Amino acid sequence: DIQMTQSPSSLSASVGDRVTITCQASQDISNYLNWYQQKPGKAPKLLIYDASNLETGVPSRFSGSGSGTDFTFTISSLQPEDIATYYCQQYDNLLSLTFGGGTKVEIK
Amino acid sequence: QVQLVESGGGVVQPGGSLRLSCAASGFTFSSYGMHWVRQAPGKGLEWVAFIRYDGSNKYYADSVKGRFTISRDNSKNTLYLQMNSLRAEDTAVYYCAKEKQLGTFDYWGQGTLVTVSS
């Protein structure tokens, strides 16, 4: 299986701060990477697909980049409603889809 | 609008069985692959199973292979997950999810909780 390593596992930032989360794959996955947001008690929501494509209706302060094994997810200006856990997910191996461990984002 | 509504969760003893359902609406169900994804209490997301739009291909996580069976009834717009030989480590919220493209989930249900406990 392809292992996805996310960091940090949690972070605390102020409203308006730039927030960056990284995700590293255990092997080359090209751009077959998605990012999801999950708020407490809710289902995950797709934010970014194909590493850098913004899902329809998602605010432009969210962005993604990277290819191969190293990926980055950025919130350009953290808002109170962005408090959530964020997950990366690879789909290079369609027989075994895997998620990163998650990054919990809190407001300082 | 797209809606996915899971049902069938509950408390079951180790070794028992349970069948989850996911009723879909708001899109052409028979045109999309569907997945089950689970989340143990306080833990991260784990992909469980996939079924192709026409039911011709099914893939499973190693942790459930041989115990769980994914199926669908396109005439009823419903996805299923038959879970047998349940273990304590299967305790989780189970989500059904629609594919946007291969391996990408664009809509999720609200989840149904399965608790395996004696």
pLDDT digits (tens, 9 = 90+) for B2-31: 999 999 999 999 999 999 999 999 999 999
Q: pLDDT digit string (tens) for A34-76?
A: 999 999 999 999 999 999 999 999 999 999 999 999 999 999 9
Is residue B49 within 8 A of residue B56, CB to CB? The reply is no
Query: Token pair of A47, please?
Result: 């934010």
Identity at B66, one-letter amino acid code: G
**In B, residues 10-49, which contact A (CB 8 Å cutoff)?**
35, 37, 44-47
Smallest Cβ–Cβ distance between B106 and the set A46, A89, A97 belongs to A46
Chain B contact set for A98 (CB, 8 A): 47
Partners of residue B103 in chain A, C-beta under 8 Å: 32, 34, 90-91, 94, 97
Tally Cβ neighbours within 10 Å of residue B16: 13
pLDDT-derived band at B42 (thresholds 50, 70, 90) equals very high
Distance between start and end Cα atoms, chain B:
40
B59 to chain A: which residues are within 8 Å by CB? 94-96
B93 vs B113: CA distance, rounded Å = 4
Residues 6 or more apart whose Cβ sits within 8 Å of residue B13: B86, B116, B117, B118
Please report the pLDDT score of residue B16 as a whole number: 98
Report residue B60 as tokens: 């499973």
Residue pLDDT, tens place only, A16-31: 999 999 999 999 999 9
B22 within 8 A of B111, measured Cβ to Cβ? no
Tokens 């407490």 locate to: A40
> What's the gap in Å between the CA of B83 and the closest CA on chain A?
19
Q: Would you state the pLDDT for residue B97?
A: 98
| Set of chain A residues whose Cβ sits within 8 Å of the Cβ of B2 | none
Owner of token pair 């596992």: A9
Residue A49 to residue B95, Cβ atoms within 8 A: no
Cα gap A43→B53, rounded to integer Å: 22
Q: Note whether A105 and A78 are within 8 A (CB).
A: yes
- Whether B24 contacts B107, CB under 8 Å: no
Q: How confident is the model at residue B72 (pLDDT cuts 50, 70, 90)?
A: very high
Calculate ∠ Cα B31-B101-A69, nearest 5°: 160
Cβ of A95 within 8 Å of Cβ of B45? The answer is no
The pLDDT assigned to A77 comes to: 98
Of residues B44, B95, B103, nearest to A94 (C-beta): B103
A-contacting residues of B 56-115, CB under 8 Å?
A: 59, 61-62, 95, 100-106, 108-111
Taking contacts as CB-CB distances below 8 angstroms, the residues of chain B near A99 are: 44-47
Distance from CA of B5 to the nearest CA of A (A): 12
Nearest to B18 by CA among B102, B97, B80: B80
